Amino acid sequence: MEVKRLLIMLAPQEADEKVLEAASFLSGSIIQSKASIQLFETGGQEEIKKLFGRTIFQKHYVKICRMSCIQLFHVKSNILKY
């Protein structure tokens, strides 16, 4: 078996849970789909950076949307009480 690509992700030994979660999320994004696997196998450094950037953006966008929906739900619930 020949290794063609190797991604080394480094973090401080005392990294907190959020840093480790981010590293885990990024490494998982590589095997998320056939397209991302192929990009990692054949793409250049800039393409892989863009993949990671999109992945991070999507994760935080979903979190923001969920928070907004929850806050909106609470506002509507409070309005309906009156």
58-67 tens-digit pLDDT: 776 666 666 6
Residues 54, 48: Cα–Cα separation, whole Å: 10
Q: pTM, whole model, 2 decimals?
A: 0.55
Burial class (CB in 10 A: 0-12, 13-18, 19+), 56: middle
68-82 tens-digit pLDDT: 665 555 544 445 444
Confidence of residue 55 (pLDDT cuts 50, 70, 90): confident
Phi-psi sector, 22: left (phi>0), alpha (psi -120 to 50), beta:
alpha
Q: Where are the beta strands (DSSP E) in 4-68?
A: none
Q: Which two tokens stand for residue 1?
A: 């078996």
